[in-house]
Structure formats: C-alpha cells, structure tokens
Homo-oligomer: A and B are copies of this chain.
C-alpha cells in the first residue's frame, strides 16, 4: 500500500481526491490537512464521506507528511512552493495540483500570478503531469506539476495536429467553457447560484492564467522549425457543476481530408486508456465523462473548408485535476495506470 497524504483538503479537488482514493486498492490515505478545520472530521464537512472516512483534518506537520510515500497538494497557488522544498529534500514524492510548478518560465509565472516565486529550482525539476505527452518522465519524477483543467482539455485536443505540423501553430483559437466547480469552493457573490443558474458568459477573455501553460505545452510538442504556438483563449462559465468543453479551431497548413484527420487522432491515442476518439460525426458531451478520468475528442472539417475543428470534453475536477493526479501516482509507483480510475460516468 502506498502511504498518501493530502495537503489542503477542504476544496473541491481535495474532496475529489478523497472520493477516488477511498476506493483505490493500493493507496492508503493517512492524513489530510487544513489549518482552519484542524480536528474536524472530514465527513462532517463532506457528508458524502460519512461511513467511508474516519479521518479528521489536521494541521500540516512536516514529519507526518515526510513519512508518506506521496503527498498531494490541493492548495491555492503559492502554498506548495513554500512547503514542497522540504518534502523534496526528504525524498518524498509530491504531486501538486496547483499552478505553482506548471510554468518553466518563472518570470511569466510571476507576471501571471502576481507574486514572486520562491522555489524556481523546483519549477525546473518538476515534470508536467500530462501522461499522454510526458509518461516516461512521470515514471521517475519526484515532483509532478498537474496540468490545469483547461490546459488538459485543450492540449489533448491539439497535440495530434501540432505534432504532425498539419495546422498553423500561430493562429490557434480556443473557445472553452467550464462548470462552476472550476472556480472552487469559495463564498464569493460571483459564484452563488442565483447569479449563475440560467446564465452564460465569457470571463477573463483579455487574458487567463491558463494561457501561458497552454502555449508552453503546445510548443513542447511542435516540430522545432515551425513558428511557436500562439493561442487566443476565451474561457466561459457554464450554469452547471462539472465539466469542461473545448471548441478548438486551427487553420490547416496544406490540403485536408477528414478521414486522414480522424486517423491521425485514432492513431495518436490508440494506446491511451483515458483518451477516447469519438467516431466521425459525433460530438462529445461533458456528462459522459462526469466523475471519470476520460477525455473524449472529436475532430471535424466543417464545410470541407480549411479550418480543423476539434471538440474535447473532460471533467474539470477529474481528468482536469484529481483523477489525473492519481493517474500520475499510478505511473510513478508502477501500478496499472487505470487502477482506481475505472468507474463509469454517472448518467443521467
């Protein structure tokens, strides 16, 4: 059994880790921390856990965490970079779900997140935890920077096209939408139900923190010679709880053929347990991946013109956060990659 701790367990990625770890056959959760709720049973905060977890939140203690095989950070940005260095020094493996170690360019990180980065050497060390791209490095990584939710859906949608160099990397357009759980479990007026149900809107259209992460990831897989990937990224807020859907537009470099496009995707992902290329003509639905680690993708060529359309759907809290974190853990510890991640979406 792998000994596991969670730092910062009161948010939605925390409770999703709890849900998934509770039925994981090879992981044993030993501690979950929260300074503000120290001593409170987790099942009191999340009644869905009643009968399934006897744990109480505890104050983070470095010795307790250091005794684990792996520590998940489900904290706001800025927290992991303060606490992770000591754990790394002690040889503990860390899977960080926050944004702290996602960007290799520290000045870019500092600009987008508005604060100084206190552990730039770990950002260097960290492996970006997108298994479909970086599986080999994940095996031996000591520190995983889990991808953001939008970046997961968007990169998985474009990677096959960019690797092959069949679309213009400098003219990429991503219109994406997220369920409101992506905004976290915070008491803000903007997030209350009366403000969001029966409503739809874009937000941060002038610039969202996931943009540099998306561009960094895409540039990693591009052929060297091509111009660097540049994305116009517009996120939207959906009147629902879970799910991200990305609608991705790219301009073809040469002559296109819808059948070839379909093959490019099917070939690229044929061995991936968590990417499902839909049959030609189908549209992925977020509900079919709800609560699962699956990403469903469709590729189309509307009107046989020269725009390649990719549709990509994930659960923002699962493949977009906590389930992907466990997929990383499985890879790091040599387990079957799908272990504990094989349940089906709740439908309807």
Contacts and interface: CB of A to CB of B under 8 A. Distances in A.
Interface of A: 12, 15, 18-19, 22-23, 46-52, 171, 173, 175, 177, 179-181, 183, 185-203, 205-207, 211, 230, 232-234, 236, 238-243, 245, 247, 249, 251, 276, 278, 281-291, 294, 296, 298, 300, 302-303, 305, 307, 309, 311, 313, 317, 342-348
B185 A188 contact: no
Given A205-B300, A344-B19, A305 B48 contact: no
A201 B285 CA distance: 5
Nearest to A10: B189
Given A47-B282, A200-B286, 9 more contacts: A19-B345, A48-B290, A48-B345, A175-B247, A185-B189, A185-B195, A187-B188, A194-B241, A201-B286
30 contacts: A15-B347, A19-B345, A19-B346, A47-B288, A47-B296, A48-B345, A50-B276, A50-B288, A50-B296, A52-B342, A173-B307, A175-B247, A181-B194, A183-B194, A185-B195, A186-B189, A191-B192, A193-B195, A194-B241, A197-B239, A198-B290, A200-B313, A201-B283, A201-B313, A206-B281, A207-B303, A232-B303, A232-B307, A239-B240, A317-B348
A238 B199 CA distance: 9
Q: Nearest 3 pairs between A and B by C-beta?
A: A175-B175, A48-B345, A199-B287
Contacts of A198: 179, 197-198, 240-243, 286-287, 290
A322 to B, nearest CB: 12
B302 A197 contact: no
Best-surrounded residue of A49, A52, A180, A345 (most CB of chain B within 10 A): A345
Contact of A346 (B236, B245, B291): B291
Number of copies: 4
Contacts of A249: 173, 175, 232, 249
A347 to B, nearest CB: 4
Contacts of A240: 197-200, 239
B205 A344 contact: no
Contact of A23 (B187, B189, B311, B342): B342
A98 to B, nearest CB: 19
B187 A187 contact: yes
Nearest to A245: B200
A202 B247 contact: yes
A180 B193 CA distance: 7
Nearest to A291: B346
A241 B302 contact: no
A276 B50 CA distance: 8
Contacts of A22: 344
